[in-house]
Amino acid sequence: MDSRVLRGYGFSLTTALCWGITAVLAKWGVTHLAPPLAGATIALLSGTILLTLAGGWKQSDNSLKGKKGTVFFAMGGMTAAAGVIGQYYALSFSPVTIVSPFVNSSPLLVLILVRLFLGRLERITPRLVAGALLIVAGGILIVLTKPS
Amino acid sequence: MGITFAILSAVGYAAGALFMRLGLEYTKPLRGTFISVLASFGTVFLAALILQPEALFSLSLIAVLWFAVIGSINYALGRFLSITSTNYIGIARASSVRSTSPLFTLVLALIFLGERLTLPLFVGTLLIAFGLYLLMSEG
């Protein structure tokens, strides 16, 4: 396997580890310390501060290309935040057994959106769809089985 | 109502991932991560100001520190790695691999909370492992 691809999978799995750890911490935090939106605000503020210190703001690019990138990432950040807010509110109306299958299916929605809009950038193969379906199904099974 | 919000949430996550993939065509991962987390912060802060203002301004120091740790792991490190991995293998593969996170939560619960591995959890783990194998064996 190409080293770039290997790094990509490694980083993706490390992201999953980060999210797995924070799911436990956030669950405890919103149960004992603060309501979800207030907690998410602090979490995102600390993330912004750390990324500022890491130099994320320094690499500004005023070219048209740079501005396009800024717009896409800003829209990505806002829609992802809408996903977080939607998830909190879904959980306040319905149990996790109802909400989780929908929310955890978002990678399948990604595949559909990529097929529709990013066909020139990425190829969706039957093997990729099968792998994604199995991962999503396994994830939903684990989320629905473990005590919340 | 819950299902409507759940569907909106899934659409939000998926659209967010797609926008960030497009952004990578024009911007480097670190700057992209910074912009996306800043935009997420602005959106959630606005929602918190409108919907839960009293909660936002009455947080204890422990709560602030607790969620700051979560933000450092999830948004600074996690989102940076997530966007970097998208840069390497594309959003279709990266988003599928990232959704293995319940498996890591399960492993942590087994190690630290003494939870037991029941049959459904074992089957879920096998499904994820086989799904990962299918993705990664494609190269």
**Per-residue pLDDT tens for B82-130?**
999 999 999 999 999 999 988 888 888 888 877 888 999 999 999 999 9
User: Rounded to whole angstroms, how far apart are CA atoms B20 and A29?
Assistant: 28
Query: Which residues on A lie below 8 Å from B47 (Cβ)?
Result: 37, 81, 85
Output the average pLDDT for chain A. Answer: 88
User: Rounded to whole angstroms, how far apart are CA atoms B46 and A90?
Assistant: 19
Gap from B113 CA to chain A (nearest CA, Å): 11
Using CA coordinates, name the residue in chain B closest to A111: B92
Greater pLDDT, A92 or A142: A142
Residue the block writes with tokens 């580890």: A17
User: Rounded to whole angstroms, how far apart are CA atoms A99 and A7?
Assistant: 32
**Per-residue pLDDT tens for A9-40?**
999 999 999 988 888 888 888 889 989 899 99
Percent of chain B with pLDDT over 70: 99
| Chains A–B, number of C-beta pairs less than 8 Å apart | 498
Confidence tier at A2 by pLDDT (50, 70, 90): confident
CB count, 10 Å around CB of A148?
Answer: 11
The pTM score is: 0.90
Query: Which residues on B lie below 8 Å from A15 (Cβ)?
Result: 78-79, 81-82, 85, 98, 101
Sign of the C-alpha dihedral, residues A126, A127, A133, A136? Answer: negative
Give the per-residue pLDDT at A59.
65
Output the average pLDDT for chain B. Answer: 92
**Per-residue pLDDT tens for B62-81?**
999 999 999 999 999 999 99
Mutate to test the interface with B, among A13, A25, A84, A110 (most CBs of B within 10 A): A110
ipTM over 0.85: yes
Residue by residue, DSSP assigns A13-55 as HHHHHHHHHHHHHHHHHHHHT--HHHHHHHHHHHHHHHHHHTT
Mutate to test the interface with A, among B1, B7, B9 (most CBs of A within 10 A): B9
Query: Which residues on B lie below 8 Å from A20 (Cβ)?
Result: 101-105, 107-108
Scanning B32-61 for CB atoms below 8 A from A yields 32-45, 47-48, 51-52, 55-56, 59-60
Confidence tier at A148 by pLDDT (50, 70, 90): very low
Report H helices in B27-90: 29-51, 53-56, 61-71, 79-89
Residue the block writes with tokens 């717009």: A71
Give the per-residue pLDDT at A145.
85
Flag whether pLDDT at A92 surpasses 80. Answer: no
